[in-house]
Each structure stands twice: as structure tokens, then as C-alpha cells.
Amino acid sequence: MHYTYIKFENQTYGEKAVSLLAKSGIKANLRRNPNPNHKQGCNFALFVNGNVWEAYDIITKNHVKNLGVESYRERL
Amino acid sequence: MIYLDNAATTFPKPQSVLKAVSGAMSLYGANPGRGGHSMALKAGRKVFETRSILAQMFSCDSDRVIFCDNCTTALNTAIRGSLKKGDHVIISSLEHNSVLRPVHAMKNEGLISYDVFYVEPLNNDKTLENLKLLIKKNTAAVVCTAVSNVFGTVLPIDEIGSMLRKRGIKFIVDAAQAAGSHRLDMKNQSIDVLCLPGHKGLMGPMGTGVLLLSEGIELQPFKYGGTGSGSMSAEQPMFYPDRLESGTVNLPGIAGLKAGADFVRKAGFESILRRESELIRLLREDLSVIRGLTVYDYMQWNADTNLLSFNIDGYHSEQVAELADRWGIALRAGYHCSYLAHNSYGTEKTGTVRVSAGPFNTKKDIKILSFYLNKIALRKIM
């Protein structure tokens, strides 16, 4: 399974993005990043129900700090 | 017990606060912002919701709402974190020791110098003038209370903020007695750093304090450690709130603070203050006819304030509070951790007896208090 998500340094920024997207009618699910970069350490991932780039655009336009969009393939 | 010591901490707390604290401990008591399991995420969401409410109440960004263990920690972080060697600071003559002592300690360490501006009773223009006269080239910050915890005096925060913003001097406000009852708007009042307790006017539990920063204000951390972010680096994160919020936060306290802040928002801080001020005005009227009782009136008669200080001739303030306690009335006596305020207004020998109203006090409470104070003044209670 292939996933694309928006990455945040902490839950605060992630939750801020969730409530911002909700105002635009976009549902999103905040989780711990399942595929963290060992250099960055722990962080959070926002899985968007819909177009991730549209969500990313809303988030960046509203100055919510984030670490960009990332993808990973789940190993079964 | 008739509780009239709400300036120390409000009591009782709304039922919603008790329920929120208990719920945070029994239903989702995981470490917020750390783990990825659903309970930890729920806990983190509650912390975020509390940040958001406080950010809305005081006009700042939710990232810049930092949870501390009390207002004193918030003030220490603000003062230590914003000053550097060689800076000059000005504080008011009504400051609590939680402002005076960190500033004084930094002076003793040879880091900074400081001056105290006199708050003129009933004269905001003169107060502002007193402050202006002390500003030097190296003045980096002014730290002052919004409302005196001893006399209830309301400082001209709008005027001070606007004057300092024009001069590029940082404005740090101690809102210990003002948060939850007086208007505090960081944007419109040019407040750079706002420090407040969660357990007083905001009706939350003890062990909660909040530091709020305006956009562009950078503070050096007061403590370093785990934040749940940037974990593979030895460096403290430089982004907020993590930069200033190392260690596990007080989830039950923060959940209770959210419920308290919701209570205040629902009731409206203006109506809470109006109601409490009416009680204090009623008390002032009653006390004004008691012979030998002095009310320290450093406010306009019609000003909105929710506390009052007085003394009775021939008694130390502590004796009056002790006698009141025998009749089931909780008052605060002594020096209220404010060396400066008592020295400023000449009450350093006896301290004062302080009456502070809360949202749950009634006119009956005030009438009972007046009745016993009259008896004490007439030496009918010993």
C-alpha cells in the first residue's frame, strides 16, 4: 500500500492543520509518523481524505509549520 | 466556609473543571504529544484545544501558548529568557515578588540593572510619566502587573503598551490577577509577553500557568529536555511551543484549565468582573461606616475591581484574618508576597487584610463579613 501524507514536527502543528482543514470541509487523520526519518526523530503525519496537495496548499497558505509532503510504501 | 480569598486561588471550581480533571486522569491519561496510540493522541488533542481557546481569549497564535506549572514559572521564563547582560529593566511599584525577585536576582548576578516606577493612585497620566522618566538607552523591557494583587489597582496597560511599542521596548505583563476578569488583548494592547495562572480567574486547577508570546518575540529556554519532537538531535527545538515546553505537561491540569476557560467565556469575563465589582463596592460602602477601619482606596469609587485591602486600628492584619476564620470566613492577611506594594503605599508595618471576590460569592457573603468586621472593630470579638 502506498501512502502520501503531510509531515509535522509536533502534534500541535498537526492538530492546527486538522482544524484548519475541517473549516474547508476536508477530513484528515493525524497519526504518529509511521516512517520517520532517523535524523529528524519523532514526528507526526497527517493523512488527508482527498487531495493531499490541495490540503498542503491550504496549510502552507495559512502559515502552519510543516515538514512537507512525504510518501511511503507499507511493507506487508 | 465563606471563601473570599479568590485572588490567591479561586474556590470552589466549577463542576465542569472537576469533571475534566477526573476525565483526563481516568479516561485518557496518556502522555500528550508523545506516543502514537489513540489515548496519547486524544490527550494531545485536548492540550491543543486548550491552547486554541487561550490563543483566542488573549489574541495570539496557538503555537505561542506555552504551558507552565504556574504564573511564577511563566514570569521567570519571560524575564530570564528575554534579557541579556547589560540590559536595563523597569518594573512597577506594585509588583509581586514573582517579578521583583527574578529581576533582583539577575541584578545580583551582575547581569542587568533595574528601576521601579511609582504607580500613582488615581492618576494614570502621572504613572505613565513616572515610567517614561526611567527609560534609558539600554532599557530592554518593562515588566508590570495588570492589576495589583494587594490593592486591586488597575494599571494603564493600553497606554504603557502603546508607549513602549513606539520605543521598541519589550512589554511583559503579569496577568495573575487580571486573567479571566479584565480585558487582555495582546494585539490591541501591544503586549509582547503575557504571563498568567490557570487557577485564579480562569478557574482551572492549581499547577497550571501559561506564557503567551506575540509574533516575533523570541525567548531563550529556561529549561531543556524532551519535547516529543526532533528527538534525534542534542539541540533544543527552536520552534514553539516545544522550545519552552520541555517535559511532560500537566494534562489533568490543562484539561481542567480548558473547562475553566470555557466557563469564563460562557459567563463572559466582563459580566464576571461586573458582578465581583458590585460585591466589592457593597463591601466598601459597608466598611466606610466602621470606625477604626481603613480601606486602602487607590481606585476610583466606581472602578471595576474584584479585591480590596483594609486594616483595623489596633490589630495586625493577621489577627483580623484569624478572627474572621473563627467565624468561617476565609480572608488573606499579611504581605501577599508583595514587598514593593506595601512599601509603596505605606502598609509595610501591618500588611493588609485582603478580601477578594469570586464568581460564586453572593451579597449575603459580603453582609456576613461586614457584620463580623464591625464586631471586630468594636472589640466585640477577641
To the nearest whole Å, the CA of A41 is away from the closest chain B CA by 5
pLDDT tens digit at each of 382 positions of chain B: 999 999 999 999 999 999 999 999 999 999 999 989 999 999 999 999 999 999 999 999 999 999 999 999 999 999 999 999 999 999 999 999 999 999 999 999 999 999 999 999 889 999 999 999 999 999 999 999 999 999 999 999 999 999 999 999 999 999 999 999 999 999 999 999 999 999 999 999 999 999 999 999 999 998 999 999 988 899 999 999 999 999 999 999 999 999 999 999 999 999 999 999 999 999 999 999 999 999 997 666 557 889 999 999 999 999 999 999 999 999 999 999 998 998 888 888 889 999 999 999 999 999 999 999 999 999 866 5
What pLDDT is recorded for position B276?
96
B52 contacts in chain A (CB < 8 Å): 19
What pLDDT is recorded for position B30?
96
- Enter the DSSP assignment of B300: -
What pLDDT is recorded for position A76?
58
> Which cell goes with A62?
495559512
B51 contacts in chain A (CB < 8 Å): 12
Looking up cell 541584578 gives: B107
Cβ of B62 and A11 within 8 Å? no
**B11 reaches A (C-beta below 8 A):** no
Cβ of A12 and B63 within 8 Å? yes
Cβ of A10 and B228 within 8 Å? yes
Are B145 and B177 a contacting pair, CB within 8 Å? yes
Nearest residue of A to residue B232, measured between CA atoms: A41
Cβ of B36 and A40 within 8 Å? no
What pLDDT is recorded for position A3?
85
What pLDDT is recorded for position A2?
82
Give DSSP secondary structure letters for B166-212: HHT-EEEEE-TTTTTTS---TTTTT-SEEEEESSSTT---SS-EEEE
Cβ of A15 and B45 within 8 Å? yes
d(CA B134, CA B128): 10
Read off φ and ψ for residue B331, nearest 5 degrees.
Answer: -125, 165
To the nearest whole Å, the CA of A33 is away from the closest chain B CA by 8
* Touching A: B residues 281-340, CB under 8 Å: none
> Which cell goes with B78?
519571560
Q: How many CA atoms lie within 13 A of B44 on its CB side?
A: 26
Cβ of B228 and A32 within 8 Å? no
Give the count of Cβ contacts less than 8 A between chain A and B.
59
Mean pLDDT of A43-68: 96
What is the average pLDDT value for chain A, to the nearest integer? 92
Residue among B36, B62, B230 whose CB faces A31 most closely = B36
- Rounded to two decimals, the ipTM of the complex is 0.90
- Considering only CA atoms, which of B302, B356, B290 is closest in space to residue B329? B356
What pLDDT is recorded for position B382?
59
**What residues of A are in the B interface, CB distance below 8 Å?**
9-13, 15-16, 19, 30-32, 38-43, 65
A43 contacts in chain B (CB < 8 Å): 229
What pLDDT is recorded for position B195?
98
Burial class (CB in 10 A: 0-12, 13-18, 19+), A35: middle
B234 contacts in chain A (CB < 8 Å): none
Cβ of B230 and A31 within 8 Å? no
Nearest residue of B to residue A43, measured between CA atoms: B229
Of the residues B48, B61, B236, B251, the best mutation for testing chain A's interface (the one with the most A CB atoms within 10 Å of its CB) is: B48
Are B90 and B114 a contacting pair, CB within 8 Å? yes
What pLDDT is recorded for position B302?
59
Cβ of B227 and A10 within 8 Å? yes
**B41 reaches A (C-beta below 8 A):** yes
What pLDDT is recorded for position B116?
98
Cβ of A15 and B48 within 8 Å? yes
Nearest residue of A to residue B39, measured between CA atoms: A31
What pLDDT is recorded for position B299?
63
Residue among B45, B47, B233 whose CB faces A41 most closely = B233
What pLDDT is recorded for position B106?
98
A40 contacts in chain B (CB < 8 Å): 230, 232
